[in-house]
Structure 1
Amino acid sequence: MTEPRWFEDGRLRFGLGIENTFVPQARDGERAIDEYELTEHYRWFAEDFRKAAAVGSEFLRWGVPWYRIAPAPGRWDWGWVDQAMESLVEAGLRPIIDLLHYGTPLWLEGEFSNRDYPDRVAEYAHRFAERYGEVAVDYTPVNEPMIHALFSGEYGYWPPYGRGERGVVDISLALAEGFVKTQHAVSSVLGDRAIFVHVDAGLRYTGDLEAHEHRIDAKRLVSQRFLVEDLATGRVGEGHELLDTLRANGAPDDLLAWFRDNAVQPDIMGVNYYPRHSTEVFELGIHHGGGFADPRPSFDAGVEGLSDVLNLWWERYGAPVMLTETCVTGTVEERIEWLDDSVAEIDRLRAGGMPIVGYTWWPLFDMYEWTFRHSSGPRADHLLTMGLFDLVETESGLARRRNPTADRFSHHATAHRLHSNGTQGTHAARAPRP
């Protein structure tokens, strides 16, 4: 008999992530973004991993800077990743590898729109799995593919700066093809050992969805949030709500058939949810373009929104679900309140039968907002207070200063682990407020 995989034992595991957005392409008025560089993770990686383990994290969602390890076609530089992977495992963390968390190599002209993109990203995934497959078997082929598609294909905000419905369709098709080929590439190396954690943003829309000025756009967005995952998992066929949109924007029937014939499935369906930002509001009589530069207003949907997105993605894809990113940007007290409330909601949903296998606070330490790309000011102007550890500027670089959110995370992680071992406590236990 095949032994159960780690997520099949019924436990809720607590983990962390380190923000790893990479948009290395620059142009006039736009700086490159590399969160590892901004947060000095390239320097402090070993310390960061030890901090994650020390607060009770069992797994770490951790991304690979593809653009750095592939500085030129056919050239591979694994030196820093070798060191980081060794340190990550030494810290006792289970890595869930973000193979693509935005960004492509600088030499890949046209980025996601390059016709060679799907094969290039699959080659990179294959090489990574060959090199690290003994210590890393959990993979996210592409983090938040619909955010990729929106930012790079519809909003014109990130390379290759596509716009409109045609742009988002083109980038979605390319991302989905790369997604499928990546998963097959990793499977060809690891076989049944490979575990795939698909991850997308828990996008929600509310308000005047039926208003004349919003009806068409809102209907498309509600369906479109699943588009890349639906393509990759072979769900786009006759009767799919976006089939006509895809065909009208140039999607060839033979490519759509290829997706169905080569479909991949998640072992775990990950959903990223931020209570204050994941729910966009359509307002009667007011038009917003959507996107980072011209956002629709959002509101704090709290645990109601969390329950909604986990249910939606579970029911649609049928795999166990994981909360793969969550936090609030705010004071320590606000962070702790959301941590308590969201863990309690996860416990409630699990008690009701939803197979939730993981909870991920994102990120371990603070990060810098993507607005840094369009600014000329210092990184400190773009600090987002989100972490268990504060980033503090010092003469010797960025210090990681533990705050009480880390203590609360550690409490929840420990309580759930002890409860699952039958030794003491309850998974709903709460520590006293600081």
Structure 2
Amino acid sequence: MKSSFLDIIKKQRGDSNYAGDEHGGASGESGSGLPNGSAQNFMFATGIECSAPTINHGKTRRDQLEECGHYKHWKKDFELVNELGLKVLRYGLPYHKIHLGPGKYDWTFADEVMNAMKKMHVTPILDLMHFGLPDWLGNFQNPELPLHFSDYAKEVARRYPWVRYYTPVNEIYVTAKNSAKDGLWNEQLKSDKAFVTAMKNIVAASIMATHSIVECRPDAIIIQSESAEYMHEAKAEQSPEVKLLNKQRLISLDLLYAYPPDSEIFTYLMDNGMTRAEFDWFMVSEPPGYQIMGNDYYGRNEKIMKPDNTICTAEDVLGWYQITKGYYDRYKKPVMHTETNTFDPEQAPTWLWKQWINVLRMRSDGVPVLGFTWYSLIDQIDWDSGLTELNNNVIACGLYDLDRKPRPVSDAYKMLLKEYGQITIIPHGEMFEITNRDARLKVVV
């Protein structure tokens, strides 16, 4: 019997499996291990809750940085980010405290925290507007907002040139809806015309701010955080009002990404104050920079309208995967899961794993999901009333409580990070990076 090639190889080279992993690549690595900050790796993040709308017709500011103790404990908060093993933090500067008037800024707090983040190697996704405006700008009915906000964005980008990731305006749809259609925050109006006015002013502000950022940082990565929402209607005959509502949730991204809406939404916009010239301006082109579509999902985002018109939470009927897949099919943008939590601290670890499985399933179906965020690092205040009531209720949704002590979800996130912390943004993403490092390809996750 003739010798096989394998007999000859083993005789000459020894009994080896020849996996090739000693030279990198080959069968691949799992991608396990805490995040190491590598540019091609998936972005795991948390966030500092920084909402700052006004209520009581502008008389009361709900500053969550203040109410949750961040102004006092910011050093500890950044230490907790490192303790978790995270490299990325969604972080909002207090716009209402910094931008004092046209051309007037107070950078005292911002400089302190930004310099600290840089020294601690925390990569911020810098959130420039989170539900509220400086008092001097009034509210979202102000047509001067886009230019003033773009000036602010330019000053931020100039002052912190090392920052690459930005969310110019957090949750545009929620901001406009709560401020101008549901009457909860800021201008506290309740009309379609006010809603459309707020929507066009906020989207224009985001677009103009992005231009300002990219002028200073041409390689900027813009992560638009938008609420992934849906209203189910448990009625035999579907109402036109709910159909319209499920289309209205897309207006912000339609205008932002220059995606022509259908005739019903076009007519709605025209009937409620948008001019043809304004619409055409939005449709010219999407903003510059590398655009990532962030989708926030909480179980309470998804609702059911029952036959008696009462509404209940529809947690996970569709879930983050199904709702976000619809957004992806529409806009074809890389995706990030930019916010999630639950108000029940005992159920939070399970909710974390459920959201992560949504992310893995999305990736396995070929959608480029680039990051995941548990929001937020620290418990929040009064979100059970949507910040509309000053009750000082602690919402136990953080990785840590207000004393900076870990909640059960903190350990769950650490476990997740150790298992998946070095997977690549896209499978074998290292091949698309110009580098002289030895091959250490990750398997497809």
TM bin, normalised by shorter chain, reads: 0.7 to 0.9
> Do structure 1's residue 402 and structure 2's residue 415 form an aligned pair?
no
**Which residue is equivalent to 2:334?**
320
> What is the TM-score of this pair, normalised by structure 1?
0.85
| Runs of at least 5 residues in structure 1 that lack an aligned partner in the other structure | 1-5, 289-295, 392-398, 429-434
> Do structure 1's residue 223 and structure 2's residue 247 form an aligned pair?
yes
Letter in 1 for 2:308: G
Higher relative contact order (CA 8 A, sep 6+): 2
**Which residue is equivalent to 2:118?**
89
Map of 1:146-225 to 2, 5 A cutoff? 146-191=173-218, 193-208=219-234, 211=237, 215-225=239-249
Letter in 2 for 1:318: K
1:427 CA drift (Å): 9.3
Structure 1 residue runs of 4 or more that deviate by more than 3 Å after TM superposition: 6-9, 24-28, 209-212, 370-377, 418-428
Distance 1:240 1:54, change over 3 A: farther
What secondary structure sits across from 1:300 in the alignment? coil
Distance 1:309 1:7, change over 3 A: farther
**Which residue is equivalent to 1:242?**
265
For the residues of structure 2 that align with 1:283 and 1:222, how far apart are their CA atoms? 16
1:14 to 38, 44, 48: 44
**Which residue is equivalent to 2:293?**
269
1:240 CA drift (Å): 4.5
1:412 CA drift (Å): 0.9
Q: Deviations over 1:76-135 (max 9, x none)?
A: 1001000111112222221101111111111113x11112111111111111011012x2
Letter in 2 for 1:17: G
1:241 CA drift (Å): 3.9
Contact 2:228 2:297 in 1 (8 A): yes
Distance 1:260 1:271, change over 3 A: same
For the residues of structure 2 that align with 1:40 and 1:97, how far apart are their CA atoms? 19
**Which residue is equivalent to 1:62?**
91
1:119 to 133, 143, 147: 147
1:301 CA drift (Å): 1.4
> What is the TM-score of this pair, normalised by structure 2?
0.83
**Which residue is equivalent to 2:378?**
365
**Which residue is equivalent to 1:389?**
400
1:416 CA drift (Å): 1.1
Distance 1:424 1:7, change over 3 A: closer
Q: Deviations over 1:353-409 (max 9, x none)?
A: 1211101000011001243854454x2xx1100111112xxxxxxx21112321210
Distance 1:131 1:384, change over 3 A: same
1:27 CA drift (Å): 4.7
Deviates more, 1:16-25 or 1:151-160: 16-25
1:309 to 323, 332, 339: 323
What secondary structure sits across from 2:134 in the alignment? coil
Letter in 2 for 1:149: A
1:299 CA drift (Å): 2.2
1:150 CA drift (Å): 0.5
> Do structure 1's residue 41 and structure 2's residue 41 form an aligned pair?
no
Letter in 1 for 2:173: M
| Runs of at least 5 residues in structure 2 that lack an aligned partner in the other structure | 1-36, 425-429, 431-438
**Which residue is equivalent to 1:356?**
369
Contact 2:42 2:423 in 1 (8 A): no
**Which residue is equivalent to 1:395?**
none
Letter in 1 for 2:278: L
Give the aligned length. Answer: 394
Contact 2:54 2:186 in 1 (8 A): no
Distance 1:262 1:343, change over 3 A: closer
Identity among equivalent positions (%) equals 25
Deviates more, 1:86-95 or 1:44-53: 86-95
Contact 2:129 2:169 in 1 (8 A): yes
1:62 CA drift (Å): 0.5
For the residues of structure 2 that align with 1:319 and 1:84, how far apart are their CA atoms? 31
For the residues of structure 2 that align with 1:424 and 1:383, how far apart are their CA atoms? 44
Deviates more, 1:264-273 or 1:141-150: 264-273
Q: Please identify the structure whose Cα radius of gyration is greater.
A: 2
For the residues of structure 2 that align with 1:244 and 1:262, how far apart are their CA atoms? 21
Contact 2:141 2:194 in 1 (8 A): no
Distance 1:418 1:141, change over 3 A: closer
Q: Deviations over 1:274-296 (max 9, x none)?
A: 12x0111111132x5xxxxxxx3
Contact 2:44 2:372 in 1 (8 A): yes
What secondary structure sits across from 1:22 in the alignment? coil
What secondary structure sits across from 1:113 in the alignment? coil
**Which residue is equivalent to 1:339?**
352
Contact 1:35 1:368 in 2 (8 A): yes
